[in-house]
A and B are shown apart, each in its own frame.
Chain A
Amino acid sequence: MRKLLGIGVIAGAIAVGALVPALRRSGAQQKPAVDSVTAPRLAVGDSSNLKGPRQPIFFRHDIHAGQLKMQCQYCHYTVNRATEPGIPSVETCMGCHLVVGGTDSTHKAEIKKLRQYWADRADPAKPKLEWTRIHTLARYAHFPHMRHIKAMGPNACQTCHGDVARMPQVFKVNNVNNMGFCVSCHIARKVTRDCTACHY
């Protein structure tokens, strides 16, 4: 996985325009995260009809993770080494979208919003990108993402987060803040059920 990530990062650094084919290649070397899906064409206005909260930018996980088969870890880059998965910085988005401007008007409009956030980055008075959080864990529970990726592999994200690669707008599939959800899995896999594994 680290190798894949490395390839992705190098590709991004060398030639942003060549990134998408590079990722496609790298994706082909390993079993893809999800089956190839064709993302539906959706206008911005459609997002409110979709499940899940509406986000400031209609970011399409189904295009990025599904159609383009980008690895989750390309953006959520610390998930395999830290407790937090990491929210990609605007800079990370701009790594591609400096060049990738979108294929149709609805995409272009969303990418334009992103570029505006980037253009305003030095001005503290300008609005900042604020995603609406979907998966929240109570503060008294600690979930080390890296242990779960280590145990279940790099594509284990969907175990809790659902098939994000097919979601035009991300919604909550499982209530991750429900202890039963955690414990049922821990029972099935015969791993620790000690309270202080998570609660401290």
Chain B
Amino acid sequence: MNDDTQGIDRRRFLTVLGVAGAGTAALSGCSTGKVEKLIPYLVQDEDQVPGIPTWYASTCTECPAGCGLHVKTREARAIKLEGNPDHPVNAGTLCHRGQAGLQGLYNPGRTRAPMVREGNARKDVSWDDAIGRLVQKLAGASGKVAVISGAGPGTFSDLLAGWTTALAGKLVRYEAFDRAPERAANKQVFGLDELPVYDFAQARHIVSFGADFLETWGPVVEQQRGFAKAHGFDGTGMAKLVYAGPRMNLTGMNADEWHPLVAGTEAALALGMANVILSERTSAPADAGALAAGLAAWTPEKVAQTTGMTTEAVRKLAREFVSASPSLAVAGGVGAQHRGAITVAAAVNLLNYVAGNVGKTVRFGAGIPTSDGYGAMEDLITAMNAGQISVLLVHDCNPAYSLPKSAGFAAAMAKVPFKVSTSLFLDETAAACDLLLPNHHALERWDDVAPRAGVRGLMQPVMTPVFKTMHTGDVLLKTSQKAGGPLAQFNAPSFEAHLKQKWAGLSKGSDAAQFWRDALVKGGIYDAAPAAPSVKLAAGASGLTWAAPAFDGPGEFVFLPVPSSMYHDGRGANRPWLLENPDPVTKITWGSWIELHPDTARRLDIRDGEVLRLKSPYGEVAAPAYVYPGVRPDVVAMGLGLGHTEYGEYARGLGANALDLLGSKDGDGFLPYVSVKVEVEKTREYHQLARTDGNPRQLGRHIADAMPLAHAAKGYTVEESLKQVGEEEHEANTEREQEALGGFREKQVEKQKFGAYAEEHPRWGMAIDLAKCTGCASCVTACYSENNIPWVGYDNVIRGREMSWMRIERYWEGGTEPGEPFGARVIPMLCQHCENAPCEPVCPVYASYHTADGLNGQVYNRCVGTRYCSNNCPYKVRYFNWFAFAKRAFAEPFNLQLNPDVTVRSRGVMEKCTFCVQRIRGAQHQARMDDRPLKDGDVVTACQQACPSGAIVFGNVNDPESRVVKAKQDHRGYHVLEETNVRSSITYLAKVQA
């Protein structure tokens, strides 16, 4: 303000302001001084009660697994996604990608209305206009239409297939992370062109040949649940997991043994194991004898030579595998999809067969959906290049990104005169299209999906569409009605009516309307899985030959693209929850990195963060280096899913696209991801990695403790176990310290005699079983979603300002000396709600205090931001809100996802895990309204709800019958940093190593 021109000095200005401020406050009578409006509904929605969440059953579409959802809506907007407990695939839990579906719904990068391209610009048009344009282009295009669809099998896919057929068009059902090699192998070995279901829960010994079954391969939530059941310690024993592959991924981190095989040699190990089993054991299936001759060449010596293992390890592995019955071997995944991928899967089929696992842990006849594979896409690219396609419709997939540049999709697409996209987002494919017909999000539309035989998940609109989008099913029907001709057969008035009509056909004679309502409530129909067919070896099984897969290029290192557990095939890259949730292995956020073995790094003089350029015959990619002992010295690895050129503001330009390095030829019907060798070139530039791990080693702090199975089975405590292995004693307090602490403890407990503390209260506590926790970080996203935690972005993560109230700490074990096995431990870290909380006495304003029910409370409106509490917290679980992070994180339309039960914290406030106090209070309210006491299981924290492993138990410690008390009594229980005498409310149960 300029004093001269305004004619008012500063003092006068402040006086006026003060009077005006007071006046406003007095007039409105409201301390905020802001006039707020109350806008009533015009017509009250029957389902919506203000203040009470309404839940809808739906189905997740973030990957082909087809998990069931319960969608929490408040005031007619979806605010949280949880698993549907009735659903056979996910049984009530959900992975982080599924939960982040909500950020797809509210993503600011969504295409908000139909658009046409005019020159280089796009312009909004009306839906009538848009559909009219499509009809016009389809008019003369019969036989020259192509459709690429990523939609799972279901009513929509059937309609799309019929629609394409009516136009004499070509439909390619495409899924980037296709499991084509496994199907081919199943056909070769068993004569079954399908994918089985793997029963991890029953397996007593699991060997994974590169399959990342905890990350992207198969229905990960179901597999993780089964794995946690098998691999978790049940009081007597546990299954062992062995991971064989050139890089230790999250699945490898959870393995009890990791064998870093030479890239591409998994098949040799599987064949060698099968050979050992057949030669040492007579109880193998009768027809397995025919294999013996073919396998005899695979002696442990030859296997050891090929894979880089020792002969003894091969023998031991085979013997352990067969002696624990049933066992399970799995192979596949993008990270093991080299040119010999079919042979790997076939060899593993043989291994499962000779060990007698087929029919037990490997069950065929499950009806797992498959896509048409990369071979069909190659044909389409050829057709597009030949000018045989005049209209291309791309639905629910992004081939312009998810195919390597060398596949030539973009160039072929450019030759198609009219391209239409129904993508929700302006992704790379949509950006190249002439007409955008944005589909509804899965939470806004009627739809169904059949992820396996007997299971059909239903989707229903849980809210009014956020933008002016239209269901692609309706687009197809409207187009058909306008175009007529062969399309006139699709005459349903809407896709909803079409879907209901199809479902009436599923009701098998029962009342169709009732059947539909029941299905809507349950989220679909879940019939028992069909009986597994008896599986015999096919003729092709015995003729299995193996040759080392070829790698293109003269480079020194095999290039290993790593499917990202966060971004999947790249579709998660526009969701800040997934970008900020650290990679489970490297703990890197917001960006790409290139992994090198420490020996390689030392030899080439490369340090963390140095930008490297990888060069293959097909292209080059630059990203910062991350030195990782979990990758073979002759391999460099890089995550997939980033490096988008479109796909919204969060994805665009972030990281690098590893697919640029890949070739696409000679894959035998699939895309060979692991097929190039690269050269590593130093650029002398540095880019700081946004890592959230502090020191990656425990340094004797005993944060994530573990004990061998032998000790756990004997009922040893962690300390007893440590003594046994001769490790230096747990840093216990000396006798004198104990004495002093004893008095201190009493004093601390004394305060519980006063005031409200003396009354009877529940005391909330938690137990986390590290034998079950895999470190997948579903709980982290659940916490973000439940507690309105803002993401902070790259710039703030590198300054250590991330706000994740719950984090997964990952510590490396071993691997420092040659020959020493390398492994990792994970531990979820959140506020420990200490009874003697060090954060409480240092708060000058009592913002941090202890509640009578045992919570470490944090009162945001009291907090003045001294950060003393954070400085005094030994666990570093208090997070300071440095800027108004929420303003950016919940900018429109992300603000619609906010949980109204949780305060959105402003700048300058310390915040932390509250044990989901809003859920505790909500359960207490409900119990009071029902005139009953709170019972065990009434309060479920968000992290506990989401955990696919069921590792987290929460409840009232004062209730001796509660599950949490039972869990806390386990002999494996320990407290992190117990020697600090903070008396944490979270008991960790030590990991058990088989």
Contacts and interface: CB of A to CB of B under 8 A. Distances in A.
Contacts of A84: 50-51
A157 B849 CA distance: 32
Interface stretch (A26-34, A63-71, A139-147): A139-147
Contact of B921 (A81, A82, A138, A200): A200
Most chain B beta-carbon contacts within 10 A, residue among A87, A142, A171: A142
Given A81-B929, A89-B43, A150-B928, A196 B859 contact: yes
B275 to A, nearest CB: 62
B37 A147 contact: no
B42 interface: yes
Interface residues of A, number: 47
Contact of A136 (B30, B857, B914): B30
B861 interface: yes
Contacts of A145: 51
B37 A138 contact: no
Given A91-B43, A194-B851, A140 B861 contact: yes
Contacts of B756: 192-194
Contacts of A86: 49-51
B925 A130 contact: no
Most chain A beta-carbon contacts within 10 A, residue among B28, B39, B40, B860: B40
B531 interface: no
B793 to A, nearest CB: 24
Contact of B43 (A78, A90, A172, A177): A90
B907 to A, nearest CB: 14
Contacts of A199: 857, 859-862, 903
A195 interface: yes
Interface string B907-923: 00000001001100100
B901 interface: yes
B40 A177 contact: no
Nearest to B909: A140
Nearest to A193: B756
A134 B929 CA distance: 27
Given A82-B49, A82-B52, A172-B30, A90 B857 contact: no
A147 B928 contact: yes
A146 B862 CA distance: 26
B550 interface: no
A192 B30 CA distance: 26
A92 interface: yes
Nearest to B755: A193
B51 A177 contact: no
A184 interface: no
A121 to B, nearest CB: 4
A140 B860 contact: yes
A136 B44 CA distance: 22
A83 interface: yes
A181 B870 CA distance: 32
Nearest to A200: B917
B31 interface: yes
Contact of A200 (B29, B37, B44, B902): B902
A11 B928 CA distance: 30
B41 A91 contact: yes
Interface string A118-153: 100100000011111110101111101111001000
B40 A121 contact: no
Contact of B37 (A81, A133, A139): A133
A139 B50 contact: no
A88 interface: yes
Contact of A130 (B30, B37, B52, B862): B37
Nearest to B52: A82
Interface in B848-868: 849, 851-853, 855, 857, 859-862
Given A81-B52, A133-B37, A195-B849, A128 B859 contact: no
Contact of B40 (A81, A88, A141, A146): A88
A49 interface: no
Given A178-B31, A200-B917, A87 B849 contact: no
Given A138-B32, A139-B904, A128 B52 contact: no
A89 B40 contact: yes
Contacts of B725: none
A90 B39 CA distance: 10
Contacts of A147: 925, 928-929
A89 B44 contact: yes
Nearest to A197: B921
Interface residues of B, number: 41
Contact of A129 (B39, B52, B860): B39
A92 B50 CA distance: 15
A86 B48 CA distance: 11
A46 B851 CA distance: 50
Nearest to A149: B929
B293 interface: no
Contacts of B118: none
B741 to A, nearest CB: 28
A199 B860 CA distance: 8
Most chain B beta-carbon contacts within 10 A, residue among A83, A132, A177: A83
A155 interface: no
B928 A140 contact: no
Contacts of A154: none
Contacts of A136: 30, 32, 36
Contacts of B42: 89-91, 117-118, 121, 128-129
Contacts of B862: 195, 199
Interface in B436-484: none
A178 B29 CA distance: 11
Given A121-B43, A139-B903, A144 B925 contact: yes
Interface in A164-192: 171-172, 175, 177-178, 192
A89 B50 contact: no
Contacts of A196: 851, 855, 857, 859, 914, 917, 921
A53 interface: yes
Contacts of B849: 195
A169 to B, nearest CB: 13
B35 interface: yes
Contacts of B35: 53, 132-133
Nearest to B759: A192
Nearest to B853: A194
Contacts of B36: 132-133, 136
B19 interface: no
A131 B37 CA distance: 6
Contacts of A130: 37-39
Nearest to B861: A140
Contact of B38 (A81, A92, A131, A171): A131
Contacts of B902: 200
A186 B861 CA distance: 19
A86 to B, nearest CB: 5
A102 B770 CA distance: 70
A146 B925 CA distance: 8
Nearest to A51: B29
Interface in A45-84: 53, 78, 81-84
A110 to B, nearest CB: 16
A194 B855 CA distance: 11
A83 B32 contact: no
Contact of A87 (B38, B857, B929): B38
B888 to A, nearest CB: 18
A172 B50 CA distance: 23
Contacts of B914: 196, 200
Interface in B253-311: none
Given A53-B28, A129-B39, A175-B30, 4 more contacts: A83-B925, A130-B37, A133-B36, A134-B29
Interface of A: 53, 78, 81-84, 86-92, 117-118, 121, 128-134, 136, 138-142, 144-147, 150, 171-172, 175, 177-178, 192-197, 199-200
A-B pairs, top 9 by smallest CB distance, nearest first, are: A82-B51, A84-B51, A83-B51, A84-B50, A89-B41, A133-B36, A89-B44, A131-B38, A140-B903
8 contacts: A82-B52, A86-B50, A87-B40, A89-B40, A89-B42, A144-B921, A144-B925, A194-B857
